[in-house]
Amino acid sequence: MEYHTYQPSDSLAPFIKCYWSLEAPLDNKPERQRIVPDGCMEMIFHCGDLYKQFLPNTDFIIQPRSFLFGQITTPLEIEPMGVSNITAVRFHPTGHAAFISMASADMENRAVPLYELFGPPAIQLEQTILSSPTHTHRIQLIESFLLKRLQLLSANEIAKESVELLFQMKGQISVIELAQRLGISKRNLERRFLQEIGLSPKHLAKTIRLQALLKILNQNHSASLTELALECGYYDQAHFIKDFKEFTGLSPKQFYADNLKMSALFIGTQ
């Protein structure tokens, strides 16, 4: 499995965290891969075979060839159906709003086909991406498309400022304190978050805090969970394990099992 990240152009850097690519050969015994929330929406192009996406009731759907995945609020399980060859865009938490008019809440936990978001131009984009042999060239095509789509109005400035503060604090700040620092009411802040980001500020803070912990754990698997939980702002180990299971569906000991190769890969290189 080969995973690489690429930096966006200066014009798109305020909106895009990175581009990434993933290649993996056919596996005769494919395993489900679990992806956990990270607060960022992603635009995916399956240039190889498609992926299954499992539903809570044990059924599954086949992901579209190209789509935008909305905010993930629960663990997501996917499985390759053949050769993986993916080129993707990882937006900043508010970055997608500069290009997409659909409400963030309507995309939650959904792989929304690009045609549904952009109409006929999405078909042409998909065709050119699929006919391109390299990830670098595909990224150039995506950048050109997004620059044309870039709206004159940027994402809500208060939402952007609050997200930056949440990342700076590694999610260790209450919604009330966050609202006070920004000089607005808690209710107004929550409304702006749902409109611009598709998550509540509390949910995003919990996501950022867990991601910060996962990166430390990914670098040092033998770290003391009790000390790590306190360092990352959890009240105690029980509080940490509760949040961990909520976001990953697993206990910390289970997290680095083989079926988490993809999720661990993303955490380690974001």
d(CA 223, CA 235): 18
> What percent of the chain is modeled with pLDDT above 70?
91
Same domain, yes or no, for 76 and 162? Answer: no
d(CA 270, CA 268): 6
Position 21 pLDDT exceeds 90: yes
d(CA 253, CA 255): 6
Q: Which of 149, 168, 200 is the endpoint of a domain?
A: 149
Non-local (6+) Cβ contacts of 204 within 8 A are 39, 93, 163, 166, 171, 193, 197
Count of domains forming the chain: 2
Domain that holds residue 215: 157-269
Among residues 43, 42, 41, 76, the alpha carbon closest in space to that of 60 is found at 76
Same domain, yes or no, for 80 and 185? Answer: no
Same domain, yes or no, for 68 and 175? Answer: no
Q: Residue 65 has which token pair?
A: 């060839």
Same domain, yes or no, for 114 and 211? Answer: no
Non-local (6+) Cβ contacts of 127 within 8 A are none
For residues 1 and 24, is the Cβ–Cβ distance under 8 A?
yes
d(CA 99, CA 262): 27
Same domain, yes or no, for 209 and 258? Answer: yes
Same domain, yes or no, for 121 and 170? Answer: no
Q: What is the mean pLDDT of the chain?
A: 86
Same domain, yes or no, for 108 and 241? Answer: no
CATH of the domain at 17: 2.60.120.10
Same domain, yes or no, for 238 and 133? Answer: no
Non-local (6+) Cβ contacts of 150 within 8 A are 11, 12, 15, 98, 99
d(CA 176, CA 173): 8
d(CA 108, CA 6): 26
Same domain, yes or no, for 117 and 173? Answer: no
Same domain, yes or no, for 19 and 143? Answer: yes
Non-local (6+) Cβ contacts of 268 within 8 A are 215, 218, 219
User: pLDDT tens digits for 59-105?
Assistant: 999 999 999 999 998 888 999 999 999 999 999 988 898 888 788 88
User: Of the given ranges (56-60, 108-112, 132-136, 261-265), which has the lowest mean pLDDT?
Assistant: 261-265
Q: Which of 108, 125, 149 is the endpoint of a domain?
A: 149
Same domain, yes or no, for 188 and 244? Answer: yes
CATH of the domain at 252: 1.10.10.60
Q: Which of 115, 149, 183 is the endpoint of a domain?
A: 149
Same domain, yes or no, for 44 and 126? Answer: yes
d(CA 213, CA 208): 9
